[in-house]
Structure 1
């Protein structure tokens, strides 16, 4: 079934534009934490529908909807029971159709998460595999192996799962299955044709319902070629990432995406996709973004960087080169559901004896409150966001960042949900031990009430993760009418971005990019200047379009304060 919109288009980028995604602003919704319409403590589709007007006023081009499928929530919904249904706690297929219609009616496209590396252990096929003998067709859809030791009592290899603990789990008849993540997330065997057809059917199912694109979870790990005997964990880690690694970024994963691309191109306009592919080599990451593959690939480089001019310039230059290599546009992201919010990261002091942040491990972990300067973090976050939104390419925003939300650190152990927390050291005294719950706390819509407007005031259940008392000051209601609020900044910047958007190029201004200052020009005669330092710098000539913090006026001069970005028409 091919869907073509013929009615007048409300979209900023025309509805039939095949490359609408190239410079789109995409807003990620973590559905269980966005808005709860029925008071059960879990966000739902009706809650999202009720706030489509808010998303339209914000000025986003698309929504990326994190998993909403039936799930036991062993990993926040990324353990999928059924790829072609809606979790009854979140809604129904009819309500999903209503959401698509409401978003499209407001000129907002919809991207949904697809999770093809693993299913839930409750998936019908995994349950069939458990009830089938060794060597059966049912077991071949997953990765089962005999164990080592005299009676197979040892795992096939000493591998560690991404959330901690062993990556192999034994089933009652003695075999072991691979789970790269939680024990409830068995890995698919992508050598099996049933698996290929399952996902082709799933992509068509959602595309036929009007979905405009797909965010592909763990896109670089689907294809696996496991030798016998298996390498040890140390041997696996030492193998080159050149397309021949047994489990990561294999060349043959692109055969899967070529197959998917043929499905995407059945539609008018073609469906788009973006890869979550943690690949260090830019040339290899660009493979996922080619038009014959998924079309785009996340770059998480800014997300991993300190608030530092030299790092930002190096990252932007490298990723624009990478986009040119693939023929795609670059993607920019500062926060998402897997990492500590950037308003907290930028206010987090380095560990003792270190001059730099601790890389991706601490970003996945939450943040210790005694090392955070909230005011500095928010100031830098606003500056970094305005810098990000000035770049050519697409920008991905995470729900709540437009409010300036910081990481919630004050979550009791008995209220946590993230498997990273439960699989880490019991004292949780390292960054790795806290988990991702702090960025997934339900949004505050009102200044008060039992869940700050996340659910109805008369709801019997509170939010599924506890909200701190300070949330009211960062609520939509508190910021709605304040043009200087973070929400006001995002709305202003997104509206300006629409007016200013031009060719996907920039030119560094080396006369201004000195010390802690970074400046670049965009087509149309406008400029973005960011002062990454602490001391004010002179404002260049030009008309100020917007600034992340108020500019300073001293002795007839206008100055850009530290940790501030300004857009200028010159």
Structure 2
């Protein structure tokens, strides 16, 4: 029997912290972060005040795409440790009252996965090859790809079939919406469904508290695999117009997965009253109503709000996106899930250091020859944007190091880059290395306390030293202490479960809102996105401010939470 749904499940207002394992903490000194390193630093998350930790992939992988090319979904890559280390991490997190969410990568496998290797041996027409999207090419001999789809990393999304042809003379191709080493699974095949069910059960049985689903809007492709309108940007235009994204069939998968996770009770008896295991989608889907379909009552619990992440620091734009996404989520009875940074985008402390223009997409990577952000302005806006985000109803995700105010590493030498986007795009897109640089823990010592090796897998910018926790802890002006205050107050005031009402403000540059609860005083949030200060409201008590306030005005690029007497 499924576990009865709790009246107030934990995930509706949880703050979840993303750890990118290779860049969090290195215990064995090889320059790459690992699971024991994560375990050794979990107290930092308790001190910060988050509810759960989400781990990016640590599975066996040749690491062509930093672990998102999985060879074995049921084992830990020796680079990161062992299954025993994973069990120890989960156990220690639970001791500290932290839940653990892990990645699942269902759209594709590594080309070194046993399934794909078997498909190469068994060849075209085999049961093994039928687990992947393999199709005959166009043209007289199949010399052209089956359609015009492009890889997200650059170049075409099809490669010639490299395995046994079993006498077939017409050229066949396999699909890879990402790197050539990441062949797409064919989700019309029941074997694929059964395998991923088994993977979920494997980790649920080991005590994990949920899954973040990579490329959750992928997996199912439009029937017949028609050509795509290449003028559409999948991160801007409604992805329902693109035949490889947001197809209706994905929702049947998630209804099946929801039934599966509901067979499991809470991972710890202490959580019996607020329990489900979590399913969260990484779905780059527009508009908000399309995204809300992923979090209907019988599907997933959460889906990242990337529209909010992509919105510039402009009051009218922010109000519009918050309004639209809250309304869409409310229509299906789901909480909204807010995020400003992750392992795939330029950190918001740098992204917001550029001029903010409505409708203009943020940078996808920054290199030495690119225009550089204004670091001080970016950090000031990032602190204000975070204070706004953490006040909004629903759940929120933080990305490792943002609580330190880490900027994007924008000066990584091109010959040090490891993201496959750099090579596949013909060196036209810098890729995601800049947000994945190892975290500093101490201002002095090898790799700024990341580990005993002085040579981390990506070089750390020198400015990271002054941002290490040992420099910020106890300094009330620091970004770390600001995050701790915000998270403590968010929990004490129950902001994630309040109702939002907009307040009209005389300045068009100020976003003003009330957060209401039936039995609590109202909290007012003001975010000044404009170039100059505005008067503070009278007769209020400031609870927290993202920047110093000392003259009765709300400075530019500052957010405050206030309580009325």
Task: Name the TM-score, length of structure 1 as normaliser.
Answer: 0.90
Matched, 1:543 2:547: no
Aligned counterparts of 2:124 and 2:196: Cα–Cα separation in 1:
24
Aligned counterparts of 2:65 and 2:154: Cα–Cα separation in 1:
13
From the superposition, tell whether residues 241 and 484 of structure 1 become closer, same or farther in structure 2 (CA, over 3 Å): closer
What secondary structure sits across from 1:85 in the alignment?
strand
Tell me the residue number matched to 2:136. 146
Tell me the residue number matched to 2:259. 262
Tell me the residue number matched to 1:247. 244
What secondary structure sits across from 1:349 in the alignment?
coil
Shift in Å at residue 152 of structure 1? 2.4
For 1:59-118, what per-residue CA distance to the aligned partner results, in whole angstroms no more than 9, with x for missing partners?
000111111111112112111111111111101111111111111111111111111111
Matched, 1:467 2:464: no
Aligned counterparts of 2:446 and 2:46: Cα–Cα separation in 1:
27
Shift in Å at residue 286 of structure 1? 0.8
Shift in Å at residue 448 of structure 1? 2.0
What secondary structure sits across from 1:530 in the alignment?
strand
Matched, 1:413 2:407: no
Tell me the residue number matched to 2:473. 480
Instruction: Within 5 Å, give how 1:363-512 maps onto structure 2.
Output: 363=364, 370-426=371-427, 428=428, 433-456=429-452, 459=453, 462-502=455-495, 503-510=497-504, 512=505
From the superposition, tell whether residues 24 and 143 of structure 1 become closer, same or farther in structure 2 (CA, over 3 Å): same
Aligned counterparts of 2:344 and 2:230: Cα–Cα separation in 1:
28
What secondary structure sits across from 1:529 in the alignment?
strand
1:339, 1:365 within 8 Å by CA — same for their partners in 2? no
Shift in Å at residue 356 of structure 1? 4.6
Matched, 1:29 2:26: no
Tell me the residue number matched to 1:562. 556
What secondary structure sits across from 2:512 in the alignment?
strand
Instruction: Within 5 Å, give how 1:308-327 maps onto structure 2.
Output: 308-327=314-333
Tell me the residue number matched to 1:293. 299
2:158, 2:175 within 8 Å by CA — same for their partners in 1? yes
Tell me the residue number matched to 1:529. 526
2:3, 2:263 within 8 Å by CA — same for their partners in 1? no
Structure 1 gap segments, 5+ residues each: 5-14
Shift in Å at residue 147 of structure 1? 1.9
Instruction: Within 5 Å, give how 1:133-212 maps onto structure 2.
Output: 133-172=123-162, 173=165, 174-212=171-209
Aligned counterparts of 2:319 and 2:60: Cα–Cα separation in 1:
42
Shift in Å at residue 452 of structure 1? 0.3
Aligned counterparts of 1:257 and 1:400: Cα–Cα separation in 2:
31
Deviates more, 1:98-107 or 1:499-508: 499-508
Aligned counterparts of 1:495 and 1:468: Cα–Cα separation in 2:
30
Shift in Å at residue 318 of structure 1? 0.8
Matched, 1:110 2:72: no
What secondary structure sits across from 1:363 in the alignment?
coil
Deviates more, 1:69-78 or 1:45-54: 69-78
Matched, 1:96 2:90: no
What secondary structure sits across from 2:448 in the alignment?
coil
Tell me the residue number matched to 1:223. 220
Shift in Å at residue 282 of structure 1? 1.8
Deviates more, 1:192-201 or 1:234-243: 234-243
2:473, 2:481 within 8 Å by CA — same for their partners in 1? yes
Tell me the residue number matched to 1:12. none
Aligned counterparts of 1:98 and 1:569: Cα–Cα separation in 2:
43
Shift in Å at residue 365 of structure 1? 5.5
2:447, 2:455 within 8 Å by CA — same for their partners in 1? yes
| RMSD (CA atoms) | 2.3
What secondary structure sits across from 1:55 in the alignment?
helix
2:364, 2:430 within 8 Å by CA — same for their partners in 1? no
From the superposition, tell whether residues 53 and 526 of structure 1 become closer, same or farther in structure 2 (CA, over 3 Å): same
Aligned counterparts of 2:240 and 2:173: Cα–Cα separation in 1:
26
Aligned counterparts of 2:408 and 2:149: Cα–Cα separation in 1:
31
Tell me the residue number matched to 2:116. 126
Shift in Å at residue 158 of structure 1? 2.7
Aligned counterparts of 1:337 and 1:235: Cα–Cα separation in 2:
26
What secondary structure sits across from 2:390 in the alignment?
helix
Aligned residue among 59, 63, 70 for 1:73 = 63
For 1:15-53, what per-residue CA distance to the aligned partner results, in whole angstroms no more than 9, with x for missing partners?
977610011111000010000001101101111111111
From the superposition, tell whether residues 368 and 478 of structure 1 become closer, same or farther in structure 2 (CA, over 3 Å): farther
Tell me the residue number matched to 2:168. none
Aligned counterparts of 2:430 and 2:401: Cα–Cα separation in 1:
20
Tell me the residue number matched to 1:359. 361
Aligned counterparts of 1:321 and 1:365: Cα–Cα separation in 2:
34
Matched, 1:552 2:550: yes
Shift in Å at residue 149 of structure 1? 2.9
Instruction: Within 5 Å, give how 1:313-352 maps onto structure 2.
Output: 313-349=319-355
For 1:327-355, what per-residue CA distance to the aligned partner results, in whole angstroms no more than 9, with x for missing partners?
110011111101000010111236xxxx4
For 1:526-569, what per-residue CA distance to the aligned partner results, in whole angstroms no more than 9, with x for missing partners?
1111111121111112111111110032xxxx111111111111
2:368, 2:412 within 8 Å by CA — same for their partners in 1? no
Aligned residue among 22, 35, 44 for 1:45 = 35
Structure 2 gap segments, 5+ residues each: 166-170, 266-274
1:37, 1:47 within 8 Å by CA — same for their partners in 2? yes
1:244, 1:251 within 8 Å by CA — same for their partners in 2? no
Aligned counterparts of 2:180 and 2:276: Cα–Cα separation in 1:
36
Aligned residue among 271, 279, 290 for 2:277 = 271
Tell me the residue number matched to 1:232. 227
From the superposition, tell whether residues 244 and 472 of structure 1 become closer, same or farther in structure 2 (CA, over 3 Å): closer
From the superposition, tell whether residues 333 and 368 of structure 1 become closer, same or farther in structure 2 (CA, over 3 Å): farther
Shift in Å at residue 423 of structure 1? 1.6
Aligned counterparts of 1:329 and 1:36: Cα–Cα separation in 2:
35
What secondary structure sits across from 2:72 in the alignment?
coil
